[in-house]
Amino acid sequence: MTFRRMSTISLDPRLNLQAIKNPPNQHGVVLEEIEGLLRVHKDGNIERPPIIPSVPSTLALPHGVTAKDVVIDKFTNLWARIYVPSHPGNLPVLVYFHGGGFCVGSAAWSCYHNFLANLACKASCVIISVNYRLAPENRLPAAYDDGFKTLMWVKQQALSEPSEQRWWLSRCSLSSLFIVGDSAGANIAYNVTTQLVPCDPSSLRPLSLKGTILIQPFFGGEARTWSEKYATQPPTSALTLSNSDVYWRLALPFGANKDHPWCNPLANGVTKLRDLRLPAIMVCISELDILKDRNLEVCNALSSLGKRVETTMYKGVGHAFQVMQNSQLSYSRTQELISHIKAFKNQ
């Protein structure tokens, strides 16, 4: 399957009006809503209409790619979808976190399945796509904990070499590990990285973190940036300022505001960042994204501290263009993104 097949995926709520209609007052007052994606009711009920279909791991894979779902923690229902291309040699490993404002999304969503299957094939890597717990049922740091737990699970599997995991473990070079994500998933990738780097490297073996890839990372702050206030967004944009505020209200710990360090890495100044032994970081920014200026601020701050930061701007496209494709331009930019990820992991 090529990326062109994804052109019908859209966040236009009009496409799914039937799915989001409910009998009047079925669950009472709606406290928070992101149209077409999420409703949080006062009685505690949470609705996530299936505006994007979930698909099985075997659906429409590129030639030579195998994918299966694996259970990481049955008690918290933490699982991952693993993609393995049939390329020769031991392949780098990408641990990937999907987007969705911490509140929606799945490793089984068709848009992520298509994107990651193609990324595994074209960039020659094993991808572990993590289905972490969602807010508001599980507020942060639940998603970060799931990310860290996934990495420790990979380490445990490598050390014990259970036969049921050999289909992907035997293809991996765990000394070439990358933590990757887009949007809220990129926020998770960043925060899991900062959680991982203080660890004694010997305690992580055979894992060796080579880099972190942040695709349109979902950061925020109490003070609005220019692009948050003024960037012109199409009505079907994957991320608007009002939706961003809802996601943060539902994801952050109760009582926290958007200057919490999980949301705003620069809230407490750069002093704490100076001592972090961060790996090489690649940050992918969309020109029409409301997060553009926030992403650039974080990149500039890290660069000023001597961190290795590679920044790429994708012209003419908005937030989540690589999974919410509806134009030839976004398809072309996605091919560029895959090429840049491949080049970064091969450095």
- How confident is the model over 47-67, as pLDDT tens digits? 999 999 999 999 999 999 999
**The predicted structure's pLDDT at residue 201:** 85
Average pLDDT over residues 4-24: 36
**The predicted structure's pLDDT at residue 157:** 94
Is residue 27, in this structure, part of any structural domain at all?
no
Q: Coil, strand, or helix at residue 301?
A: helix
The answer to whether 339 is a known catalytic residue is no
Give the lowest-confidence range in 34-43, 98-107, 124-133, 182-191. Answer: 34-43
Q: Which of 106, 110, 176, 183 is catalytic?
A: 183
Range of the domain at 212: 59-346
Total-model pTM: 0.92
With bands split at pLDDT 50, 70 and 90, how would you rate the model's confidence at 19?
Answer: very low
The answer to whether 319 is a known catalytic residue is yes
With bands split at pLDDT 50, 70 and 90, how would you rate the model's confidence at 200?
Answer: confident
Q: How big, in percent rounded to 5, are the helix, strand and coil portions of the chain?
A: 35, 20, 45
Q: Which of 10, 182, 244, 289 is catalytic?
A: 289
- How confident is the model over 297-313, as pLDDT tens digits? 999 999 999 999 999 99
Is residue 46, in this structure, part of any structural domain at all?
no
**The predicted structure's pLDDT at residue 27:** 77
- d(C-alpha 8, C-alpha 114), whole Å: 13
C-beta neighbour count of 328 within 10 angstroms: 10
**The predicted structure's pLDDT at residue 5:** 33
**The predicted structure's pLDDT at residue 20:** 36
Is residue 286, in this structure, part of any structural domain at all?
yes
Phi and psi angles of residue 334, each rounded to the nearest 5 degrees, phi first: -65, -40
Is residue 8, in this structure, part of any structural domain at all?
no
Is residue 96, in this structure, part of any structural domain at all?
yes
**The predicted structure's pLDDT at residue 232:** 83
**The predicted structure's pLDDT at residue 14:** 31
Q: Is the dihedral of CA 153, 168, 100, 313 positive or negative?
A: positive
Q: Give every CB contact of residue 116 below 8 A, 6+ residues apart in sequence.
A: 81, 83, 96, 127, 129
Number of compact structural domains in the chain: 1
% of the chain at pLDDT higher than 70 = 92
- How confident is the model over 63-91, as pLDDT tens digits? 999 999 999 999 999 999 999 999 888 99
Query: By the 8 A CB rule, do 112 and 104 touch?
Result: no
> Which CATH number goes with the domain that contains 124?
3.40.50.1820
Q: Which of 41, 98, 113, 319 is catalytic?
A: 319
Is residue 6, in this structure, part of any structural domain at all?
no
- d(C-alpha 147, C-alpha 72), whole Å: 11
User: Does 342 score more than 50 pLDDT?
Assistant: yes
Is residue 224, in this structure, part of any structural domain at all?
yes
Rg (CA), the chain: 19
User: Does 22 score more than 80 pLDDT?
Assistant: no
Mean pLDDT of the chain: 91
**The predicted structure's pLDDT at residue 326:** 80
Is residue 334, in this structure, part of any structural domain at all?
yes
